Each structure stands twice: as structure tokens, then as C-alpha cells.
Chain A
Amino acid sequence: MSSAAASEPRKGGVVSVLRKLNIAVIVFVVLYAAIAILQPNYIEPAGFMNFLKRATPLAVLACGQIFVLVSGGFDLSMGALVTLTVIGGSMLTDNDPGNTVWAIGVLYAIGIAVGLVNGFVVTVLRVPSIIATLGMLLSLNGVAMMWSGGSPRGYLPDNLRFFGRYAFRDVPLIGTFPIAVIVLAVVAVLAFWGLQRTVFGKRVFAIGDNPRAAELSGVRVDRTRFAAFILSALAAVTGGILLAGFGGVSVDVGSGLELQAIAACVIGGVQLMGGRGSVIGAVAGALTLFALFTLLNLLGLPQPLKDTAQGVILISAVASGAWRRRRAG
């Protein structure tokens, strides 16, 4: 069983620190420097906080997706669950702040149900997770459209939008401090603890590395898979609440986010076939991907060129990560 990148024994020396530093962190620093050259206000704390606020939903999604990826699966239903959360949030609350608390409860319950169904289809029905969650993606999009009739009714009350939109003003040193950044910190710490500091986390790595060996050594493989899908769904609901807060009601807010979350994890060194990865890497990967989007946007390139550059940089980041890993053994 190979261990997580973060739990490998540490060696001294600057070179070895550099080599061990997650590739996503280096790429992120380079991209962010480029952004700051184009747009100096990104260097200021307020600019960085604003950047973090916008990257938070993707980073939160990556924190959930990593559990499924490390366990050797995919969760393609995350984006659709984000859309369902946003539309469901508007339908349930109907602009009444009094409805927010129970509506959030219902949304998380829906998330748990989605995770359970994903887990059931993958473990009991033995459907490959990429197909199971693709099916879930289509179903959830359908449910969201049916629920709203294609036209969500009701606004999102301000207290539901609080997490994604509001910021403390006039904070010493940094100026503004978005609530979303606190949410990201909490989610990242929980994910780090869950994946890299608990027995459950070790089981996730074990079944991703070699499910048969894990099973023979007594790991409840099915139960662990269920839990991974539920965690992923809970992250998607959290991401949905943040995006609803940031942007408001939208019918296709989550489309494509599942692939971005997977890409973020992969950039951060999570192995697509499972068994390897770190939460710090996943968060750094999400920030890197978001920095890339921001940079291409600031450069004002025409759309086709942007798409191409995005693809090339993505592949290079992952390729160099894989190359470094091979060299490191």
C-alpha cells in the first residue's frame, strides 16, 4: 500500500523541499504572479481575498471529489447536484428568510440521498462509478428542470446568500474578509483530517490502491465507498450554497463543475486511478485552475485561444506532476 504524499517521511534540504512541494503550488504562484503583474490590485490583501472568495466553490468541490478519486472512483454528479441545490434553494425558501434553516437541512438531506444512491449503484449493482454518476448527473439535471419547470420560482433570501456573498469590512490589515473563505478553511481542515488523519482515510487510500488486498486485510470496502460518495455529495451541496450566494438563481450554474473539480484534484497530484493524493494538493489545484481562468480572462484573449491555452496548460501541469512523481519513485 502506497501512502499519501503528505504522510511520506520528510527529508531535509532546500532541493528536496522544492521537489516535495506540490507542483500545483508552484504553478499557482507563477500564475498568480502573472495575474498580479497584469492587475496590481490582486497583490493587495483585498484583491487576494476576493480571488479566494471566487475560487472557494471549486475548492470545496475538490475537497469532496478527492475522497471518491482516492478511493478509485469518479463523481460526475457533483455539478448537477450544485445546480439542484441552487434551484432547490430558491424553490424551498421562496424569498422568505424564515425558511432558510430548514431549507438548508433539506438540501443536505438531498445530498446524502444522492450519495447513498451513487454508493448503492456502484457497490451493490457493480456499475462503474463513471457510468453510475453520469446517470446521476442526467437524472439530477432532469429533476432540477422538472422541479422548477425550467424557470425557478422565488428569490434566494439574503440569509441564504450570506455564505457566498458577504464579507466582513474594515478588518485590520486585510480590509475585507469574505465569509466564503472561512467556509473553505473549515471544509479543507475537515477534509484533511478525514482523509489524512483518520482510520477511515487510510481505508479510502487502501481501497483505491488495491481493493482486493484491502478487502482481504479486513477493510469494509463497500461501506468506505458509500461514505466517499456521501462526502462528495455533501461538498457539492456546500459548493451549491456558496454559488447560490455568490451569483443568485441560475439554471445551469453547476454545468461542467464536476470536470473542473476532477481537473483541480489531478493538477494537485491526485491519482485518477486512486490510492494517491492530498487535500492540500486538491485545494492548491483548485486555486491553480481558478487562477488560470482569471489570467486568461484578464489577458482578454479571444475565446478559442483561451480554450486552447487552458487545455495546454492543464495537460502540462499534470504531465510535469506525473514526471516528478516518477523521478521521485
Chain B
Amino acid sequence: MTRRWIGIVVAAASLAFAGTAMAQNFDDPKEFEASKQLLEMKPQGPEGKPWEQNLGGKEVDTSQYKKAGPYHICFSNAGVNNPWRVVGWTDMQAQVEIQKADIASFTAADAEGKDDKQISDINAFVSSGKCDVLIVSPNTTAALTPAVEAACKALPVVVFDRGVLTECPVTFVNPIGGYGWGIQTANFIAEKLPKGGKVLALRILPGVDVLETRWSAANRIFKEKGIDVVGAEFTDGDNAKTKAIVEDYINRFGKIDAIWMDAGATAVAAIEAFEDAGQPFPIITGEDQEDFLVKWKKEGLTAFGPTYPTYQWRSPIIAAVKILKGEPVIGPTWKLPQPVITQETLDQYVNEKMPPLHYAMCGCEDMPGYPETWGGKK
């Protein structure tokens, strides 16, 4: 009897507490304004190679790190637990291949999305003494800060994608970020909709900085422009759940004018809900994922593809080699451009030969092994 009850309670509790995170300040007007300015800046650096460009960056002197090559590069990766990271990780390995004349070894540790594993990965790299430079893509910001600070004392460090709360790395590479995404997407919808137009916001999960800031920026603009946000729902990034939620909202409101998403991986499922309900397609913001771009083109959607480009995985390798050669790099923050896909540029990114979950803004077309290494067909 007791065992049965324990079983019941465990089953119920596992269902009930799917993990909630406490909010930090993800709605910072100063950051919002700063991102707005970055969006208007013209990128500096080589044309057509956004992973080598920067927005208003300064150079850092790295002569103190200069040593003879070839180099041993170590990389602590937060994980390859979603398609975005898979594409980025493939980019990064191809970039190592391109620069193999300068790189003696490239050792990566996969933290599998766990802070504690990543902390011990970083410690192991530092204490091994076999790394000339350490690249870190942190799993979470606050938890990884002490480990990165400790690593900075032993060797040059490059951080990219998500940040840490210290300026000790030689450089921190990332695109404009969540506020930029929120501004671009919400402006697109607000331009196309009359006042009082109904928007459904679909979000993945709470508590992740880049996602929270995407929403706070978009919500700010929707409020300013008088757009009616009829709901903001978490989908867990699950297609079936997304489709069910959208079906419910269509039933509830009769008509939804636009879908805003904090990440576009489930955009096609959202669109299919309208299809299956026999409703006209909504205005929608997705992402640079191929399945969405293909659908956009095929159905002639009114759509917008913001990006958090995967080409940013190329830049840390470039930075690492430069640092060890003693050449100046952009730092201590290196902001990469964050382009968007619009109706005008859609055709150049649609590629039915690439897998549906491939990210078009990979900057990988000129890399060795393309397209097969990314799962594409020639």
C-alpha cells in the first residue's frame, strides 16, 4: 500500500514540476537602447564574411600571448543538445580544418547541458597544461563565471554565444542578441498590423537570458504600438504542443492575426494549425531554419526570419589563432552582425537540399565538406 502511494506521488510530482526558473532583470531599457543602436550600425570588416565583421568594436593588444605555433586549442562546449548547436558545432570543426596549418590539436569537451560538468571540464583543461588557449561556450552565465575567471589566470580565454559575468576573457564573441531579435521581429509585426491586431506569442521556456530579452523587447514594442497580445505561451519547443496551443487559440479567438516566436523551431507546426483549421495564414516570425523558409516560400507567407546566426561558431577559432600569434583581436566584446531574412532575401537562403532543421545563416557554404557534413545533398 505504502509503495503504491509513493509511486503515485512520484508520478504526479514529476508531471507537475517541469522546472521553473526565477527571473533576473531581463527588461533593461539601457540594453534595449544599446541594441537598437547596434542594429543601425554598419558592420566593419571583410564584405560577405559576417563572422569576421564587428559592430563598433575596439581592438585588444594580444602581444603578451604570442607564441610559436602550431597551437593546441581547447574548447569547453555547453552541449550539442539542439539543432542550432549541432549546426554551429559542425561549423566550428570545419573552421579548424580551414586553419589546420596553425592548429596542432583541437580538443573539445561536451558538458551535455550541465553546469557542474562544464566547470570540471574547464578545470581539467586548465590543469592539464596542454592547452594554449581555451574557448568557452557557457551553459549558464552565473554558474560558469568563477571557472572562467580561474581559467583566465592560466591562459588566454575566448567566450562566445552566452556570456559570463567577468571581463577577464580576451574577447567575448556574440551577435547583437535577444533585445535586437525582439526589436526586429516586433517591428515587423507592428508594421503589418492595425492597432488592436491580435498577436499570439509562442515561447520555448522561461529563464534563459537570450529568450527572455527577446520577449521583453518585443512586448515593449507591442505595448507601445497598441498591438493586442492575446497570449504568451510556453511550448517547450515541441511541435505537437505548439500546434495544440495554436489550435486552442484559434478556437478561442476565432482569428489570430499574427504569431510571434522567441525561437522559430516550431514555426511550421504553428502554421499547420491554421492550415488544418481552414484559416488564412497569419503574419509570422520564425527563424532561419530550413523547414520554415521552405514553407514560407511555398505558401507565400507574410513572414520574417530573424536570426541568431550559427556562423558565430567560426569566429572563436579565428580569434584564438590570432591571439596566439600576437595579432590584435576585437574585444573585450566582439559584436557580430545579426542579419535578418526578409521577403527580398528569402530565395538566397531557401535550400531544399539541406535538412529541415538546418540553420541557413551558417556561413558554411564555402567550408570544406559542405553540404554533406551538414547533412545536405549535393
Interface residues of A (CB under 8 A from B): 39, 41-42, 47, 50, 54, 57, 90, 149-155, 165, 167, 243, 246-253, 255-256, 259-260, 262-263, 266, 271-273, 294, 297-298, 300, 303-304, 307-308, 310-312, 314-315, 318
Contact = CB atoms under 8 A, between A and B. Distances in A.
Contacts of B268: 248
A165 B244 CA distance: 12
A152 B276 CA distance: 24
Interface in B61-112: 80-83, 85-87
Given A153-B375, A263-B15, A314-B12, 16 more contacts: A39-B248, A149-B86, A150-B80, A152-B357, A247-B238, A247-B243, A250-B237, A266-B8, A272-B4, A272-B8, A297-B244, A300-B231, A307-B17, A311-B12, A315-B12, A318-B12
Contacts of A310: 15-16
B314 interface: no
Contacts of B82: 150, 251
B245 A297 contact: yes
Contacts of A303: 20, 206, 234
B242 interface: yes
Closest 5 CB pairs of A and B: A311-B16, A247-B239, A247-B240, A150-B86, A153-B355
B20 A307 contact: yes
Contacts of B327: none
B355 A154 contact: yes
Contacts of A314: 12, 15-16
B240 A151 contact: no
B205 to A, nearest CB: 9
Interface string B225-258: 0000001011011111111110110011000000
A294 B245 CA distance: 8
Main secondary structure of the interface of B (DSSP, over half): helix
B325 interface: no
Does more than half of chain A's interface fall in helix, strand or loop, or is it mixed? helix
A311 B17 contact: yes
B3 interface: yes
Nearest to B19: A307
B276 A165 contact: yes
A150 B85 contact: yes
Interface string B1-29: 00110011101111111101000000000
Contacts of A155: 291, 356
Contacts of B231: 300
Contact of B237 (A252, A260, A300): A252
Contact of B83 (A54, A251, A260, A300): A251
B272 interface: yes
B15 A259 contact: yes
Given A150-B81, A249-B356, A297-B248, A311 B15 contact: yes
Contacts of B248: 39, 294, 297-298
A166 B269 CA distance: 14
B335 interface: no
B214 interface: no
22 contacts: A41-B251, A47-B251, A50-B251, A90-B356, A151-B375, A153-B356, A153-B375, A155-B356, A247-B241, A247-B242, A247-B243, A249-B357, A250-B238, A256-B15, A259-B11, A260-B15, A262-B11, A263-B12, A308-B16, A311-B16, A314-B16, A315-B12
B358 interface: yes
Nearest to B203: A303
Q: Which residue, A167, A243, A247, A312, has most C-beta atoms of chain B within 10 A?
A: A247
Question: Which among A153, A253, A271 has the highest number of chain B CB atoms within 10 Å?
Answer: A153
Contacts of B20: 303-304, 307
Contact of A298 (B238, B252, B272, B276): B252
A151 B17 contact: no
B240 A246 contact: yes
Contacts of B15: 256, 259-260, 263, 310-311, 314
B102 to A, nearest CB: 27
A252 B272 CA distance: 19
Contacts of A57: 240
Q: Which of A47, A150, A251, A310 neighbours the largest number of chain B CB atoms within 10 Å of its CB?
A: A150
B351 to A, nearest CB: 13
A297 B233 CA distance: 9
A298 B231 CA distance: 10
A151 B357 contact: yes
A273 to B, nearest CB: 5
